[in-house]
Every structure is written in structure tokens, then in C-alpha cells.
Amino acid sequence: MQAVWLSLRPPQWTKNLVVFAAPALSKHLFERGPLAQSLLAFAIFCGLSGTVYLLNDVADLERDRLHPRKRLRPIASGALSRRVAVAVALALGLGCLALSAALGPRFALCAGFYLALNVLYSFRLKEVVILDVLSVSLGFVLRAVAGGLAVAVPISDWLLVCTLLLALFLALAKRRHELVSLTNAATSHRKILAEYSPYLLDQMISVVTASCLTAYAFYTMAPDTVQKYRTERLAWTIPFVLYGIFRYLYLVHQKEQGGSPTDILVTDRPLLVNVALWAVILVWIVYTSGGNPMPLLR
């Protein structure tokens, strides 16, 4: 049971916090009904992501054994057999899909598409250049969409664009870290790394970084955003986004980190404090502004 639990990678479940974005920005998150629905959506996506991790570790068994850290994972180390891992993944995945119907057919469809995309990524898309990082990023977008569908609120195009760009930034930074840190053994761990180079990844990261910062700045100052929340104070959060991205780039380039965005967020105190301050200030601005909550669609 301990090996199964570790294979589900609970520390990585922080990625599923994206499902709270749309409910929070709609001003419904702290209402009893939407909060319960958001928590259920979060739990479902934790289960689905755990399913994906199990299947991915089964698919990458031989390559993980060549990695200095991943060889310690339960499946790669032999602590958890592939047969048990597949059985648990199937049971967990089907159970979460069945439970997702409680949040409506559109949410269930989104959850099913998320699982299908990630299974396809584990067995094929991760070996296709550029589509590999785009697939990872789309997984975050589907989480954001699912959060809106769970509480039946309109989903902002700005939210989807910013989520896609930020996830793409993190995915490219992770590829760069793997390529640089593993050197000659990089392609043995992940074959797609042969299609990348540090220079190419740096160019792509530069484009995505600029796009992400620009999109977020435009979102905070867009007329429809100001009208929705009846305030221009969302622009106050731009410095936190700037610092967060620059701090992450510093850790990737100067400290040779970036292999796990979740680990960086938990272990790097300046980045953790910055993200916490950004979230608190954003919620404070949204919930103390004069704008009315978005209407629920049901």
C-alpha cells in the first residue's frame, strides 16, 4: 500500500489546484455549494493524475532505471509490480470517471478527455517533438476548464491563455533541466531530448516567458476585466508574476534546478512566499471589489 501511495505522487497533486482558479475568479469559491463541488473536482483530478503517474511509470520502467532519482520510484525499483500498478490504475481511473458524473456530463467529458490525453502522452505524444510539451500544457488547461464546469461558471479566455503559457514555460524549463543535468545520458532517459538542444529550449522559453507576462498584464488591465471586477487594482499583482517567473528562471539557469516545478515551489522559500502573497492579494482584490459574482449557469 505504501508503494502504491508513493506511485500516485501526492506531492504532485498541487498541480490540480488549478481547478480552483475559475471558481475563485467568479467569486463563488467560498460559497458552500461551489466550494464542495470544487473540492470534489480537485479530488477527482488527483485520482486521475495518480492513474496517469502509475501508467507512465509502467511505460517508462526501463528508462527510469537509468535515471539517478527516478530509479528509486516503487515500480522502477521493483517495490511495486507492473501487474499490480496497472490493476490499481484501471480501478482508480474508472472510479474517478464514474464519480465525475456527479458534477455533470460536461465535467465528466472534460475529465475523460484529460485522462485520454495523458494516457496518449504516456505512450506516444511524449516522443513527438513540441507536441510533448504542448500536451503537458493542455493538461493544465483542461484542469482550469474542469474547475469552471464543476461549479457551472463562465470560463475566461484570459484564464485559459495564461494557464497554457505558464504551463508551457514550466514544461520547457523541465526539458532544459533534464537535457543539461543528464548530459550524455539524457536521451537514454527520455528519447525526445535528442530533438532538443539547450539553445533551442532557451529560445522557446524566451518567447513563452514574454508571451506569458504580456498576456497576464493585458488580462489585469483589459476593459472587460476592469468592468467585471469594477477595479483596476488587479494590475497590482503584476510585480509578483514578474518576480515569480524571474526567480524560476534564476533557479533553472543559475542553480540548475527545474526538474520538478512542484519540488521547487515547496523547497524554495522566496518563490513559495511570492506565490502565497500573489494568491492572497489576488483573492483580496477580487472579493473586495465592487463587481458582482458571475452568474451560475445552472
CA 287 to CA 134: how far, in whole Å? 33
Looking at residue 63, what is its pLDDT?
Answer: 78
Between 36-40, 273-277, 293-297, the lowest mean confidence (pLDDT) is in 293-297
Q: How would residue 261 be classed by pLDDT, with cut points 50, 70 and 90?
A: confident
Q: What is the mean pLDDT of the chain?
A: 90
Q: How would residue 46 be classed by pLDDT, with cut points 50, 70 and 90?
A: very high
The mean pLDDT value for 49-72 works out to 84
How far is residue 282 from each of residues 16, 98, 148, 238, measured CA to CA in Å? 19, 34, 18, 10
Q: Has residue 233 got a pLDDT over 70?
A: yes
CATH class of the structural domain 2-288: mainly alpha
Q: How would residue 247 be classed by pLDDT, with cut points 50, 70 and 90?
A: very high
Q: Has residue 293 got a pLDDT over 80?
A: no
Looking at residue 183, what is its pLDDT?
Answer: 67
By percentage, how much of the chain surpasses pLDDT 70? 95
Identify which has the larger pLDDT, 185 or 200. Answer: 200
Looking at residue 106, what is its pLDDT?
Answer: 96
Identify which has the larger pLDDT, 83 or 181. Answer: 83
Identify which has the larger pLDDT, 195 or 184. Answer: 195
As a three-state string, the secondary structure of the chain is CHHHHHHCCHHHHHHHHHHHHHHHHCCCCCCHHHHHHHHHHHHHHHHHHHHHHHHHHHHCHHHHCCCCCHHHCHHHHCCCCHHHHHHHHHHHHHHHHHHHHHHCHHHHHHHHHHHHHHHHHHHCHHHCCCHHHHHHHHHHHHHHHHHHHHHCCCCCHHHHHHHHHHHHHHHHHHHHHHHHHHHHHHHHHCHHHHHCCHHHHHHHHHHHHHHHHHHHHHHHHCHHHHHHHCCCHHHHHHHHHHHHHHHHHHHHHCCCCCCCHHHHHHHCHHHHHHHHHHHHHHHHHHHHCCCCCCCCCC
Domain parsing of the chain, residue ranges: 2-288
Q: What is the pLDDT of residues 66-81, one digit of tens each?
A: 777 778 888 888 888 8
pTM: 0.91
Q: What is the pLDDT of residues 101-140, one digit of tens each?
A: 999 999 999 999 999 999 999 888 988 999 999 999 999 9
Looking at residue 53, what is its pLDDT?
Answer: 92
Looking at residue 263, what is its pLDDT?
Answer: 80
The mean pLDDT value for 240-258 works out to 89
Q: Has residue 16 got a pLDDT over 90?
A: yes
The mean pLDDT value for 165-170 works out to 95
Looking at residue 144, what is its pLDDT?
Answer: 96
Looking at residue 139, what is its pLDDT?
Answer: 95
